[in-house]
C-alpha cells in the first residue's frame, strides 16, 4: 500500500499533497497540519469468489494503472476516468436513503466481474463508501450481513466502513 502526505491549512481551508505541486498556502503564520494517507489500489476477492479492485482517489495521478479496468463504479463525483464508468451520488460519511440504486449498481458491477471484466469501485479515501460497497457486495453474494463489515476490515482495510450508519446500512441490505 502506498502512502502520501497531505498538508492542510485550516485558516485557508485548502490542502495539498507534499511533492506534487505547489503548497496551497504560503502564509508562514498559519498552522499547517500534516496527515499521512494511504492510497488504495487493492484487488479484493469477495467471499463468493468474485474479484473487484477497491480504489481511492489519488489526486496526484488518479488514473495511473498498469492496465485500466474495463469498468468502474465511483462513489464520488471527482472521478472522471477515461474508461467506461458510472457514478452513485453517495454522500461522504453517509449512506443513500434509498438502497435500490446502490443494490442495482453493485449487482451490475458484480455481474460484470463474474463475466470476466476487470472492475473497480472507489470513493475519495477508499474507506467509508468503498468499504460499505464492498460489504454490501459480500452480502449480495450471500455472506452473512452481521459479519460483512468485519470481513471487509479483515480482508481489505481496517479503516473500512467509517460510520455506524454505514454499518447499519449493510446489515439492513441482508434483511
State the total domains in the chain.
2
Q: Which residue is it, cell 492510497?
A: 39
Whether 27 and 97 map to the same domain: the answer is no
The answer to whether residue 16 scores a pLDDT higher than 80 is: no
Whether 11 and 70 map to the same domain: the answer is no
The answer to whether residue 35 scores a pLDDT higher than 90 is: no
- DSSP-derived pairing of the beta strands 41-45 and 51-55: antiparallel
- Give the containing element (helix H, strand E) for 121: strand 119-122
Distance CA 120, CA 58 (A): 14
Distance CA 90, CA 15 (A): 22
Per the CB < 8 A criterion, the answer to whether 73 and 105 are in contact is yes
Range of the domain at 20: 1-39
pLDDT tier at 74 (50, 70, 90 boundaries)?
very high
pLDDT at 43: 96
pLDDT tier at 22 (50, 70, 90 boundaries)?
confident
pLDDT at 115: 98
The answer to whether residue 107 scores a pLDDT higher than 80 is: yes
pLDDT at 1: 64
Per-residue pLDDT tens for 114-131? 999 999 999 988 999 999
CATH number at residue 44: 3.90.190.10
Instruction: Give the chain's length.
Output: 175
Whether 23 and 98 map to the same domain: the answer is no
- Give the containing element (helix H, strand E) for 153: helix 145-155
Whether 116 and 127 map to the same domain: the answer is yes
Q: Round the average pLDDT of the chain to a whole number and report it.
A: 92
Distance CA 109, CA 1 (A): 24
Amino acid at each position: 500500500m502506498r502512502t502520501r502526505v497531505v498538508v492542510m491549512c485550516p485558516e485557508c481551508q485548502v490542502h495539498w499533497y507534499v511533492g506534487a505541486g505547489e503548497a496551497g498556502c504560503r502564509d508562514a503564520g498559519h498552522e499547517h497540519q500534516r496527515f499521512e494517507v494511504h492510497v488504495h489500489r487493492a484487488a479484493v476477492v469477495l467471499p463468493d469468489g468474485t474479484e473487484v479492485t477497491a480504489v481511492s482517489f489519488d489526486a496526484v495521478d488518479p488514473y495511473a494503472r498498469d492496465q485500466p479496468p474495463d469498468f468502474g463504479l465511483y462513489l464520488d463525483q471527482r472521478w472522471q476516468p477515461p474508461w467506461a464508468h458510472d457514478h452513485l451520488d453517495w454522500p461522504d460519511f453517509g449512506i443513500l436513503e434509498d438502497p435500490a440504486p446502490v443494490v442495482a449498481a453493485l449487482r451490475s458491477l458484480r455481474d460484470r466481474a463474474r463475466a470476466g471484466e476487470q472492475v473497480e469501485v472507489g470513493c475519495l479515501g477508499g474507506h467509508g463508501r468503498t468499504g460499505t460497497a464492498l460489504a454490501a457486495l459480500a452480502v449480495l453474494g450471500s455472506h452473512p450481513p452481521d459479519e460483512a463489515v468485519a470481513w471487509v476490515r479483515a480482508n481489505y482495510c481496517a479503516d473500512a466502513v467509517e460510520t455506524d450508519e454505514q454499518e447499519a446500512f449493510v446489515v439492513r441490505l441482508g434483511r
